[in-house]
Amino acid sequence: EPLKEEVEILGFPRVFLNASADAPLASWVVRLSDVAPNGSVTQITGAGLNGAHRNSSQAPEALEPGREYQLEIELHFTSWVFQPGHRIRVAVTNSQWPMFWPTPYAMTTSLRLGGENASHVVLPMIPYEERPAPDFLPPAEPGPMLPGYRSLAIAEGESTTSGYAEVEGLVYDEDTGKATLVAVNNEGAQYPWGQALSSEKITHSTNKHDPANTSVRTEYSRTILVAGRELLFEAVLDFRSDVENFYYVYTRRVFENGELLREKTWDETIPRIFH
C-alpha cells in the first residue's frame, strides 16, 4: 500500500524468512527498495544468505529438502526516507548472478506469506523531527590540463566512465536455459614518457537448468609504449565449477616488441564445500 506519511530508517534492516527448498543447498537474496508512484524503483539495501550458513558460517550444514526454516538476514547499513505515496518493496530471490556464484542445483523454493510465522521485515525506523539540511560545498572546479597528459580513444563506445569493465550485453537462450553476460572496457592515456593502453573483457556464463555448470573468463591486457619499446602484459583467468569442485586456471604473459619473455600458469582444483 502507498505510504500516507514519511518513513525514515537508519541502521540495519532485518528480514525473517520462513522458507524451504527441494535441494540440499540454496541461497536467499533480499533487496529492499523504494517504489515511486510512477513505478520507478530505487534499491535501498540488500544482502544474501547461503542456507548452509543459517546457524554458523564456521560449521555449515546442508538443508533438509522440503523442511521449512526460519532464516534471519541482516541487510547492509542504510539511511533513507520513504516519501508519502511511495511503497516499500521487499524482493526475495534465490540467486543474484553474476554477483553471487549460483548454488549447484536447479530447485524450487517456497516462502511462507501471511498467517502465523509469516515472513516479514523489521525496519530500523527513527521518529520524525525537524533537522537542519546538510550544507554541502559547491562542486570542485576541474584542475588545469597538464602538458603531455591526455586520454586516448582506443575503441569508440567501449571506454567506461568508471574505469572498470561494464556490462555490454546479455544473451539468454530460452531453449537451452544458457545465459551469457559480457562486460568490457578499453582505455588509454598519453603521458610525457609514452602511452599506456589497456583492454578488459569479462564473460560470465551459467545455465538455469544446470547451475553447477557456471563459469567466468577474464581477459586483461596492458600495453606500455615507451622509448621505442612495446611491453605487453596479458592475464587470462578461467574459473568454472561443477557439482563437486571449482576449477581455477590463471595465466600471465609478458611480451617485449612481440617476443614472449615470461609465462606462468596456476592451475588448481578447489573442493566445493557447501557452495
271 pLDDT above the threshold of 60? yes
Q: How far apart are CA 185 and CA 183, in angstroms?
A: 7
Q: What mean pLDDT is predicted for residues 36-64?
A: 96
C-alpha cell at 35: 517504489
> What are the structural domain ranges in the chain?
7-122, 150-271
C-alpha cell at 94: 534465490
> CATH says 7-122 is which class?
mainly beta
**185-236 residue pLDDT tens:** 988 999 999 999 999 999 999 999 999 999 999 999 999 999 999 999 999 9
Residue recorded with cell 545465459? 179
Identify the bridge partners of residue 254 per DSSP, sorted by sequence position: 233, 262
Average pLDDT for the chain: 93
Q: What is the pLDDT of residue 145?
A: 81
Q: What mean pLDDT is predicted for residues 25-35?
A: 97
Q: Which of 67, 84, 116, 59 is nearest to 2 (CA)?
A: 84
Q: How far apart are the first and last CA of the chain?
A: 37
- Exposed / middle / buried, residue 211 (Cβ in 10 Å: 0-12, 13-18, 19+): buried
**145-181 residue pLDDT tens:** 888 888 887 655 556 767 778 888 999 999 999 999 9
Q: How far apart are CA 240 and CA 207, in angstroms?
A: 12
